[in-house]
Amino acid sequence: MTTQISHINFDNCNFKSKSVIQKPLLDSFKENIEDFVEDCDVVQEGCVWKWEFVHKEGCIKRTVPLFILKEVVDDSRHKSGEDPFCIYCSYSGCNNNVVSRSKYHFVIPADYESLEQQLDDPFDKDDHVFKDRTHLLHGLLHINGIGHLICINGIDGGSAFIPGRDIMHLWDLLCLYFRARKITVRDEACKTFRHISLIDGVRETCEGAMVTRLLFSVAFGSTWFGRWGYTFLRGSYGVSRDTYTTAIESLGSHPLTEVEEIVEKYKKKSLTPLECMKDLLSFMLQMRCGTRGQKKMDLNKDLWTVYDKVLMRRKNHVQTILNCKVFCKEIPLRQMSAECLTVTFVVRDADDNELPGMVGCECTTLPVNDVADLKGRVTRLIQGTYHALSNFTITEMEGEGTDELKENMWVKGDGADMDCNYVAEGGRGWLVTCICGAEDDDGEDMVECDTCKKWKHIECLINDGFKLEDNAGFICLECSTPRH
């Protein structure tokens, strides 16, 4: 059942829009974002806009600008030496998706003044806005609604005053508001801590870093992003969802005999029993959120002890979890109002074959009593979204000629150019065959065999006894073994 909803608002978020949102956005992501930026403050005509928010923390309010940057994927970018394809699609399993004609970047910079100077030419290769990993928020949405959360940096990551959870909540609402379809994130965050103690009258500082997705997976069964609905998408080195789940359950149920002193300390403060690793870690992480000063340092020290002395010694299960970095959230289509109907449609060729690389159903929204321009609207949407379909012409549409709109339908047509330069978002067309079982690019370092042109994980080769030298050729075991 679809949910009736008029619009997404920011009432329950610590960010508030300084400008009044005049109307709900009801259409596809492409139609929504193009309609929305018309009312935004223009920074660079046709490609950069600014949307100002106020962030409130307690009684303190600060203005925070969100920049929306449109990146057009075309031959001019390709000829200038820039890669027109999407590296984030490559490692998230979307590398075979048909290339979108443009994408929108949503950026909250750490240094507003520095970014505004770069916005005169945001695509300058020597000073690229999109390569900066210090942004408080950088999210990317392709014009077809498929997107990637590239980075979030809260207080632990360099923000002066905005917690990461507030930034994440804003990003989640933006995705809902503009009607994104699927968002991926590569979680490689570490939580750093510092503990200062007196040893023989001398102040000693201890610093460490704990992998956040390991802590949260064991404590809560999902990563930090799980509270916003992000779930396992794919593992590196051939790790499956079942293997990932088994590792989490095994570590979570591990007994606490090695840290009994720490358990005694915290079970006095807990309202529920602390019987296994999952219980202890979840309690300590929840307690950490409301702790400040020396108490937080002491808690960090205890957390590090559990992490280093217990978790990290279960190497196999730990490595399985560490090899799972890519998570995703799929946002179901919603019927936005009683007056309009969201129509989803599958694109097929004239021979009734679904086109390869299409990401499921496309969608648009029309008044329930207006079917006259449906064919034209769907045609414009398809042509404006994908490079390979820029000359696509609809020859047949389900329900064509009737006065009734259906929620799900198909369209057939001619003109798809599946041989153009912009068919697959991954672009590279790697053939991966590794001993770990991986058959696709997962974002880990690989090397190509000079003979068979198949790619292998460098780490897997080293673990298997191969010695790889810089600037030297590589021939895999299958190609170097004599055949009789």
Q: Give the model confidence (pLDDT) of 282-328 as tens digits.
A: 999 998 877 777 788 888 888 988 998 899 999 999 999 999 999 99
Give the pLDDT of residue 471. 66
Distance from C-alpha of 257 to C-alpha of 2, rounded to nearest angstrom: 49
pTM of the full structure: 0.86
pLDDT band of 231, cuts 50, 70, 90:
very high
Q: Where are the domains of the chain?
A: 15-187, 192-329, 334-414, 431-480
β-pairing, 454-457 with 431-432?
parallel
Q: Give the model confidence (pLDDT) of 88-129 as tens digits.
A: 888 887 777 888 889 999 999 988 777 766 666 666 655 567
Give the pLDDT of residue 4. 31
Distances (CA, A) of 38 to 63, 72, 384: 22, 17, 17
pLDDT band of 406, cuts 50, 70, 90:
low
Highest mean pLDDT: which range of 283-287, 339-343, 367-371, 384-388: 283-287
Average pLDDT, the chain: 81
Distance from C-alpha of 343 to C-alpha of 28, rounded to nearest angstrom: 10
pLDDT exceeds 50 at position 2: no
pLDDT exceeds 50 at position 465: yes
What fold characterizes domain 334-414? Ubiquitin-like (UB roll) (3.10.20)
pLDDT exceeds 60 at position 78: no
Query: Burial level of 348, CB count in 10 A (0-12/13-18/19+)?
Result: middle
pLDDT band of 204, cuts 50, 70, 90:
low
Whether the CA torsion 460, 462, 464, 468 is positive or negative: it is: positive
Mean pLDDT within 371-393: 82
Give the pLDDT of residue 296. 81
pLDDT band of 8, cuts 50, 70, 90:
low
Please tell me the number of Cα atoms within 13 Å of 328 on its side-chain side.
Answer: 21
Q: Give the model confidence (pLDDT) of 9-51 as tens digits.
A: 666 788 888 776 655 666 788 888 988 888 888 888 888 999 9
Q: How many residues does the chain have?
A: 484
Give the pLDDT of residue 457. 92
Highest mean pLDDT: which range of 127-131, 208-212, 274-278: 274-278
**Domain range 431-480, CATH architecture:** 2-Layer Sandwich (3.30)
Mean pLDDT within 132-146: 91
Proportion of the chain above pLDDT 70, given as a percent: 79
pLDDT band of 250, cuts 50, 70, 90:
very high
pLDDT exceeds 80 at position 336: no
Q: Give the model confidence (pLDDT) of 152-165 as tens digits.
A: 998 776 677 888 89
pLDDT exceeds 50 at position 382: yes
Torsions phi, psi for 284 (to 5 deg)? -65, -40
pLDDT band of 208, cuts 50, 70, 90:
low
Give the pLDDT of residue 1. 25
Other CB atoms closer than 10 Å to residue 400's CB: what's the count?
Answer: 12
Q: What is the DSSP string of 33-49?
A: HHHHGGGSEEEETTTEE
pLDDT band of 351, cuts 50, 70, 90:
confident
Owner of token pair 């058959």: 439
Interior CA angle at 36 toward 32 and 38, to 5°? 130
Mean pLDDT within 377-388: 85
Q: Find all residues with CB under 8 Å of 360, minimum gap 6, and list them.
A: 181, 346
